[in-house]
Amino acid sequence: MKDMYNVSASPHVRSGVTTAQIMRDVAIALMPACLFGIYQFGFSAFLVLLVSVTSCVVSEFLYERLMKQPYRPYECSALVTGLLIGMNMPATIPLWIPMVGGVFAIIVVKQLYGGLGQNFMNPALAARCFLAICFPPLMTKFEVGSFASSSASSKALYLFNYGYAGL
């Protein structure tokens, strides 16, 4: 009997670090990539990030108000979700699409499954999958400048017209 193990729910390793501290650290760690993306793709990338972050934060606020739950903005999980969604979008995408993605991520994937830590998958990745299924042409067209594009159809068209020698 003395070799009995204690069975408990995860996490099994505990520390004094809170979820809010982890989310703030993740948001800070994402800032250099966000700033470089804004530098590389211009002001439209900033707008995509702003819209996705705003839609996530507002969706979480409205859901928790409607459900009469306490709103905890200091946890920053909606901020991180919004940053990840915005960083997964082309800079040229219509601004209503990151808004739809933010609402889907927070309401459907995060809150309807019980909130922070109870979701069945990462809300930002779920939003990316949802948007890629619903709007494939818009979600696969990443452009830099006026010529370069990474969408499959434009590369195929370029290769058809100019062959591999043009690369």
Domain positions in the chain are: 19-139
pLDDT at 158: 52
What is the distance between the alpha carbons of residues 70 and 61, in angstroms, rounded to a whole number? 9
pLDDT at 115: 76
What is the distance between the alpha carbons of residues 131 and 134, in angstroms, rounded to a whole number? 5
Tokens 């709103």 label which residue? Answer: 71
The pairing of beta strand 148-149 with beta strand 143-144: antiparallel
Output phi, psi for 150, to 5 deg: -110, 15
pLDDT at 55: 96
What is the distance between the alpha carbons of residues 158 and 164, in angstroms, rounded to a whole number? 9
> What are the residues whose beta carbons fall under 8 Å from the beta carbon of 45, sequence distance 6 or more?
37, 38, 91
Q: Let me know: does 72 contact 23? Beta carbons within 8 Å.
A: no
What is the distance between the alpha carbons of residues 63 and 22, in angstroms, rounded to a whole number? 23
Q: What is the CA radius of gyration of the chain?
A: 20
pLDDT at 147: 43
pLDDT at 166: 47
pLDDT digit string (tens) for 43-64?
999 999 999 999 999 999 999 8
What is the distance between the alpha carbons of residues 139 and 132, in angstroms, rounded to a whole number? 6
> What are the residues whose beta carbons fall under 8 Å from the beta carbon of 1, sequence distance 6 or more?
none
Strand partners of residue 149? 143
Q: Point out the residues of the chain with pLDDT beneath 50.
A: 146-149, 165-167
